[in-house]
Chain A
């Protein structure tokens, strides 16, 4: 049972390089000391999670959802929706009816 845990320090699964790569994918800009810190913690967590390997799942279907669900259909009819101003109101920056963002293309082609 798992109310306590033991971690073998020897084999690292996640190193700093991997953490840097993941942080880019997750659109997080981490400082060097954060990368160190998360590398250690994520490695401990992933080690713990590695116990899943012990479960025989060779003939098991994955569950992506707890209850059986199927597609939900409805008539394609126009219904009232939120006012545009109400939706745009929370935006940090906007112009007329548009969300405003910094440059998207940074290189000259």
Chain B
């Protein structure tokens, strides 16, 4: 029946009409996974059919009743493996659910499986996973983006209806752009991080990856909200995000930051985003040119702050409480080192070293403190910008999906591919990526919309208006 190709909103509508059986959704989705996942490799763990049928049999009422959701492998789901795509967590199954998982199950969602990612979410290509790379459904020789590449690829290939990712420097938005789907990083604190295995605690946010903006609004509404188990979650009321669909956006002001349209950006990406700006103008949006002068320092500040936080968060992986241990050592310090050296992959080691260096005695002021001050500057740029406009339009990624292996030998080139997404994490503001075109080779291009803190409503409203005006959803990858 091809129910796996539908959106969550459409399935809910069909269910209200009494036209579908939850078993058929399971059959179609599992069927699609077994048909294409050998090529895509989006999943690292797939829930058994019997478990799904049992859950569906409960006929739990809710906003996501019977809807398949795929969850990134760094978000705890009791009794399923949670490995962050790392050997060091081999064999670990958490004894508790992340708040997000509780909320999904509370609304009747069916958790279909765990998706591949860059190891510990350190990467932009999904290539650093200990399970091997996920493939881009639009061209399986290319990367799906990262780090939530498995979630984005699964949605793009219709192997799930909805997916959950996490975004520390672009890890939801960049793979969404490269796979031609919708991905939202909420405001820092909008979604509870309880049960998200921490990478950089002041930057991490969980968010939705979906086939369209209406599903994004639906899923965000389910996962957002205050949680007393995450002391950094914000006690700010959650609006009905669905009420921001189908609205007139004329009269709103869009900021176009000049620093995002410069030499180095792929010409087809540039053209496509500029044409999206024209579409917004036709919708009655006024545009203002802006300057975010500290944009060029964002990658540098990020590659101090994120690895510094990661080096302390990942200290807990030492072979004592969970996962892999190198049992050969005869004293504890050697055991720690042998376990970590054998359990972590190359990119993780590189970032732990970078973070340890930045925090080490004698360098703290020059690097870490300096980076935190530059972070203030970047945040001030956005504060000023949102006095002049309601939302900001940029490309999501400077280039479409690159070939597998193309950048894996050059970490700095890889880091620079996140130049457009990192500033939002440093400033804590929300951002979405949604499709705005294709290259001549048929690769998807993503448009990024940024808004002020807790203005996900503005993002949903403007993204949905754009999606209706320039619909790229009908095109699907041929697999």
Tell me the B393-448 residues at the A interface (CB within 8 Å). 398, 411-412, 415-416, 419, 425-429
Q: How far does the Cβ of A98 sit from chain B's closest Cβ, in whole Å?
A: 11
Q: Which residue of A lies closest to B309 (CB)?
A: A64
> How many A residues face the partner with a CB closer than 8 A?
58
How distant is the Cα of A80 from the Cα of B101 in the complex, in angstroms? 19
**Is A2 within 8 A of B296, CB to CB?**
yes
Say if the beta carbon of B291 comes within 8 Å of chain A: no
In the complex, per-residue mask of A69-109: 1 if CB is within 8 Å of any chain B CB, else 0 = 10010100000001100110111110000010111101000
13 more A-B residue pairs beyond the given contacts A3-B419, A54-B297, with a C-beta to C-beta distance below 8 A: A2-B416, A3-B262, A18-B357, A19-B353, A41-B412, A42-B350, A52-B367, A57-B374, A60-B376, A90-B321, A92-B324, A92-B327, A93-B325
Interface residue? A65 (CB, 8 A): yes
Chain B positions within 8 Å of A, measured between CB atoms, are: 91-96, 187-189, 202-203, 228, 231-232, 234, 259, 262-265, 294-297, 299-301, 303-304, 311, 315, 318-325, 327, 329-338, 340-341, 344, 349-350, 352-354, 356-357, 360, 367, 369-377, 379, 398, 411-412, 415-416, 419, 425-429, 453
Do A101 and B379 form a contact, CB below 8 Å, given A38-B350, A52-B301, A62-B373?
no
Chain B residues near A50 (CB-CB < 8 A): 300
Check A27/B340 contact, CB under 8 A, given A3-B419, A91-B321.
yes
CA distance A28 to B189 in the complex (A): 33
Interface contact tally, CB-CB below 8 A = 196
In the complex, are the beta carbons of B376 and A62 less than 8 A apart? yes
User: 16 A-B residue contacts at CB 8 Å?
Assistant: A2-B296, A3-B265, A4-B263, A5-B416, A25-B356, A26-B311, A26-B349, A29-B337, A34-B349, A41-B350, A42-B357, A60-B376, A82-B95, A87-B95, A90-B92, A92-B327
Contact flag A5-B412 (CB < 8 Å), given A23-B353, A29-B338: yes
Whole-angstrom distance between the alpha carbons of A14 and B353 in the complex?
11
Contact assessment for A52 and B370 in the assembled complex, using a CB-CB cutoff below 8 Å: yes
B264 to A: closest C-beta gap in Å? 3
Q: Which residues of chain A come closer than 8 Å to B322, judged between CB atoms?
A: 90-92
Contact check, A49 vs B304: say whether CB atoms are below 8 A apart.
Answer: yes
The residue from A51, A52, A74, A102 contacting B332, defined by CB atoms under 8 A apart? A102
Chain A interface main SS type: loop
Complex Cα spacing A82 to B322, Å: 15
In the complex, the chain B residue whose C-beta lies closest to that of A23 is B353
Q: Kindly list the 7 A-B residue pairs having the minimum CB-CB distance in the complex, ordered from nearest.
A: A66-B428, A3-B264, A62-B372, A90-B322, A86-B95, A92-B325, A57-B373
Q: Which residues of B contact A45 (CB under 8 A)?
A: 303, 354, 411-412, 415
User: Contact at B357–A27, with CB atoms within 8 Å?
Assistant: no
Query: Would A51 and B95 count as touching, CB distance under 8 A?
Result: no
Q: A55 an interface residue at 8 Å Cβ cutoff?
A: yes
Nearest Cβ in chain B — how far from A34, in angstroms? 8
- Docked Cα-Cα span, A22 to B360, in Å, equals 8
CA distance A77 to B304 in the complex (A): 39
A91-B320 contact, Cβ under 8 Å, with A14-B357, A38-B349, A51-B297: yes
Of the candidates B234, B262, B367, B377, which one forms a contact with A57 in the assembled complex, judged by CB atoms under 8 Å apart? B377
B301 to chain A, nearest CB (A): 7
Distance (whole angstroms) from the CB of B419 to the closest CB of chain A: 6
Report the Cα distance A101→B261, complex, angstroms: 55
A104 and B332 contacting across the interface, CB-CB below 8 Å: yes
Tell me, rounded to whole Å, the shortest Cβ–Cβ distance linking B358 to chain A. Answer: 9
Q: CB of A1 within 8 A of chain B?
A: yes
Q: How distant is the Cα of A5 from the Cα of B360 in the complex, in angstroms? A: 26
User: Which residues of B are found within 8 Å of A14, using beta-carbon distances?
Assistant: 357
Would you call A1 and B352 a contact (CB within 8 A)?
no
Which residues from chain A contact B264 at a C-beta distance below 8 Å? 1, 3-4
Instruction: Say which residue of B202, B231, B234, B297 sits within 8 Å of A52 (CB atoms).
Output: B297
Given A38-B349, A45-B354, A51-B297, A66 and B412 contact (CB-CB distance below 8 Å)? no
Contact among A28, A62, A67, A99 with B369 in the assembled complex (CB-CB below 8 Å): A62
Taking a contact as CB atoms under 8 Å apart, the answer to whether A55 and B294 are in contact is yes
| CB closest chain-A residue, reference B300 | A49
B111 to chain A, nearest CB (A): 19
CA A60 to CA B373, docked complex, whole Å: 6
Q: Collect the chain B residues with CB atoms within 8 Å of residue A25's CB.
A: 356, 360
Partner of A106 from the list B189, B294, B331, B337 (CB cut-off 8 Å) is B331
**CB-CB under 8 A for A22 and B331, given A28-B340, A66-B426, A67-B188:** no
Q: In the complex, A2→B419 CA distance in Å?
A: 8
Q: A67-B234, A92-B327, A102-B332 are in contact. Are A28 and B337 (CB under 8 A)?
A: yes
